[in-house]
């Protein structure tokens, strides 16, 4: 269970949740593994290195993209960069 509203109100939450998306309370920044045939990410990881390693183990026909992910849901937004 996620408590995004309460986390967003805590001043020092960044030290405990370094991937917290400051622009979107209740969302976290992540790296998604996307396979060409799918619209939604197959999996999400905290770092680019973890996501790239997972993609390498699965297949090389996908991509790793930076995402913002709403905690406790499958909602995501692709970010530039």
Is 28 inside any structural domain? yes
9-14 long-range contacts, CB within 8 A, separation 24+: none
Computed from CA positions of residues 63, 64, 70, 74, in that sequence, does the dihedral angle turn out positive or negative?
Answer: positive
Quote the CA–CA distance of 77 and 64 in Å, as a whole number. 13
Tell me how many domains the chain contains: 1
The residue with tokens 């976290």 is 28
Q: What would the pLDDT profile of 23-63 be if each residue is shown by its tens digit?
A: 887 888 889 998 877 788 888 888 999 999 999 998 768 89
Is 30 inside any structural domain? yes
Buried b vs exposed e over 30-41: b needs ≥16 C-beta within 10 Å?
bbbbbbeeeeeb
Is 16 inside any structural domain? no
Is 74 inside any structural domain? yes
Q: Lowest-pLDDT range, 13-17, 32-36, 72-76?
A: 13-17
Q: What are the two backbone dihedrals, phi and then psi, of residue 10, each rounded to the nearest 5 degrees?
A: -75, 125
Query: Does 9 score more than 70 pLDDT?
Result: no
User: What pLDDT, on a 0 to 100 scale, did the predictor assign at position 53?
Assistant: 93
Say if pTM beats, i.e. exceeds, 0.85. Answer: no
């Amino acid at each position: 269970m996620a408590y995004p509203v309460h986390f967003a109100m805590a001043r020092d939450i960044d030290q405990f949740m370094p991937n917290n998306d400051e622009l979107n309370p209740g969302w976290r920044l992540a790296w998604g593994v996307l396979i060409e045939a799918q619209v939604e990410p197959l999996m999400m990881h905290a770092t680019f290195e973890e996501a790239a390693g997972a993609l390498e183990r699965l297949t090389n026909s996908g991509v790793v993209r930076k995402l913002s992910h709403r905690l406790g849901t499958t909602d995501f937004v692709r970010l530039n960069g």
